[in-house]
C-alpha cells in the first residue's frame, strides 16, 4: 500500500501539532512525578517529626505472666507459713521432751 503525495502533505502539516501534544503529555507526566515525590517527602518529614500515638494495651500474654507470678508467689508464701508452723510445733514438742523433770517421777495412784 503506497502513500499518496496528498497524504504526505496532510501529515507534514500536522507534524508540529503532534509534536506539541507529545511534549505536553511528557511534561505533564514529569509534573505528576514531581508532585508525587514532593508529597512523599512531606509525609516522610511529618512522620519523622511526630511521635506516634501508642495504642491501649490489652490484656495479653504479659498480664497472664504477671498473674502466674503472683500465684507462684502466693504458693511459696503459703508453703513457708506451713513450714514455720511445723517448725514451731516441733520446737514445742522437743522442748517438752527435753524437760529435765520429765520422767523422774512416776504416779502410781492415778
Grid cell listed for 84: 514455720
pLDDT tier at 93, thresholds 50, 70, 90: confident
Q: What is the per-residue pLDDT for 75?
A: 92
Res 81 pLDDT > 80: yes
pLDDT tier at 89, thresholds 50, 70, 90: confident
Average pLDDT over residues 10-18: 85
Cβ-Cβ contacts under 8 Å for 102 (sequence gap 6 or more): 96
- Report CA dihedral (54, 55, 61, 62) to the nearest 10 degrees: 40
- State the Cα–Cα distance between residues 25 and 19, nearest whole angstrom: 10
Q: Which residue has the cell 514531581?
A: 34
Summarised one tens digit per residue, pLDDT across range 23-75 is 898 889 999 999 999 999 999 888 888 777 777 766 666 677 788 888 898 99
pTM higher than 0.85, yes or no? no
Mean pLDDT of the chain: 83
Which backbone phi and psi does 69 adopt, to 5 degrees?
-65, -40
Average pLDDT over residues 84-100: 79
Res 4 pLDDT > 80: yes
Q: What is the per-residue pLDDT for 108?
A: 79
Amino acid at each position: 500500500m503506497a502513500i499518496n503525495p496528498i497524504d504526505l502533505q496532510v501529515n507534514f502539516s500536522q507534524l508540529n501539532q503532534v509534536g506539541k501534544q507529545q511534549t505536553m503529555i511528557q511534561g505533564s507526566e514529569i509534573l505528576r512525578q514531581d508532585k508525587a515525590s514532593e508529597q512523599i517527602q512531606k509525609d516522610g518529614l511529618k512522620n519523622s517529626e511526630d511521635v506516634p500515638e501508642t495504642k491501649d494495651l490489652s490484656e495479653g500474654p504479659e498480664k497472664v505472666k504477671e498473674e502466674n507470678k503472683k500465684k507462684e508467689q502466693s504458693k511459696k508464701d503459703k508453703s513457708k507459713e506451713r513450714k514455720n508452723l511445723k517448725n514451731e510445733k516441733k520446737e514445742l514438742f522437743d522442748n517438752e521432751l527435753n524437760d529435765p523433770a520429765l520422767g523422774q517421777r512416776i504416779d502410781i495412784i492415778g
